[in-house]
Amino acid sequence: MVLMTALYKRLQNLSGQSIVEITLITPLLLVALYIPADFGIAFFVGNIATTAARDGARIGSVNKKSGTTSKGGVVVDRDFTSTDAIVVRDAVVARLPSYLTSRSVTVKFYEDTPANCFEFIEVTASGNYRFFFYQLLRLFGATVTNPVQMSRTVQMPYRNQPSSNNTKCTGTTVNVTYSNV
């Protein structure tokens, strides 16, 4: 009986120690779990930006060229115009994640230089990503780095072109940039 009473008193004294240990360990455990989650979200946002750029390049690669060059009433060449680039740009902007700030989209059509070259479209989607963990550190007075710049570039060939075009084009005919800085 005396042994049970002594054991009971000892267990009562240790219960306060457990609460203190849990109180000290919990913030460290939450930080250790949150950092990988925050980097996972950043990876996911980068993947969405890549998908947005790829979708825009796909839209631009299947679009019919709206500009024309003619000789004597006969259409010699069809060119991309800024209207074509704006359609692509707007599609990319609509798909970019809201987690990115200072978003920017650049659309370039490469064609006509050198003659009979392999035409393609290049879409670049970029923006700044702020890690939420860094924002939490600022609450405690820590100085942290600025947002991370994420930039994704996709090139896709224009689908309706002759198979004899085997040299990659170097001339940019249309270069449209959107920025909401």
Segment 96-147, tens digit of pLDDT: 998 898 999 999 888 777 777 888 889 999 999 988 877 777 777 777 777 8
CA–CA dist 12, 145 (Å, integer)? 47
Highest mean pLDDT, choosing among 13-22, 126-135, 156-165: 126-135
Nearest-CA neighbor of 131 among 51, 43, 28?
43
Nearest-CA neighbor of 123 among 88, 147, 99, 98?
88
Chain mean position to CA 5 = 64
CA–CA dist 61, 55 (Å, integer)? 10
pTM of the model: 0.74
Residue 169 is classified by DSSP as P
Residue 161 is classified by DSSP as S
Q: What's the Rg (C-alpha) of the chain?
A: 29
Question: How far apart, in Å, are the Cα atoms of 150 and each of 47, 60, 119?
Answer: 10, 22, 27
Q: Enter the tokens of residue 115.
A: 């003659």
pLDDT band (50, 70, 90) for residue 49: very high
pLDDT for 171 equals 76
Alpha-carbon torsion angle 91, 156, 49, 100, nearest 10: -70
CA–CA dist 105, 176 (Å, integer)? 8
Chain mean position to CA 135 = 20
What number of other Cβ atoms are within 10 A of residue 33's Cβ?
A: 9
* Mean pLDDT of the 6-23 span: 72
CA–CA dist 94, 53 (Å, integer)? 11
CA–CA dist 50, 70 (Å, integer)? 37
Positive/negative CA dihedral, 161, 162, 168, 173 = negative
pLDDT for 181 equals 41
